[in-house]
Structure 1
Amino acid sequence: MCLGIPGKIVSIYHQAGLRMAKVDFGGVFREACIETLPEVKEGDYVIVHAGFALNRLSESEALETLQLLREIGALNEES
């Protein structure tokens, strides 16, 4: 089973001709391609899987999803 995780876009830039974002996953930062989501901007939440942002979420949807993942133990918090 594959699982996409919500993260918050902290910056947007271009790399090798692709629109990319630095995404914050609760203090862990990763790059994600946002080429398929031209409407996203800094501060938006997105679902990321395998380095690609798949969908935009509202903040409340993202926070609710993160809480549910914590409750079922599918998300380990890193500090």
Structure 2
Amino acid sequence: MCLAIPGKLLEITVENGLKMGVVDINGSKTRACLEYVPDILEGQYTIVHAGFALKIIDEEEAAESLKLWQELFDSGAFDHDGQMPYSVSQ
């Protein structure tokens, strides 16, 4: 399963001919390739997966997505001490 995380673009640079950026994802800064979103501007929001910005989103969509991510973390879904947090029955 692939999960893309929303973040705010803070800075745009060009590295080795590629449009790159620094994205703030819930307080953590990460680098992302911006080649898939060539029209993005600093201050806009995007979703990032595997180091690539995939889509420009508006602030409302980013806030809703971050809220859902926070609810997921708060639920304990990722706090399972090496055990599966759910079971799949056949």
**Which deviations, in whole Å up to 9, do the C-alpha atoms of 1:20-40 show, x marking residues without a partner?**
000001221110000111110
Task: Structure 2: state its 5+ residue gaps.
Answer: 79-90
Q: Which has the higher contact order (CA 8 A, sep 6+)?
A: 1
Letter in structure 1 aligned against 2:32: A
TM-score by length of 1: 0.89
Letter in structure 1 aligned against 2:44: D
**Which deviations, in whole Å up to 9, do the C-alpha atoms of 1:6-65 show, x marking residues without a partner?**
010000010011000000012211100001111100000000000000011000000000
TM-score by length of 2: 0.79
Q: Provide the secondary structure at the position in 1 that maps to 2:35.
A: coil
Letter in structure 2 aligned against 1:32: A
Percent identical = 49
Greater strand content:
1
In structure 2, the residue matched to 1:14 is 14
What's the Cα RMSD here?
1.4
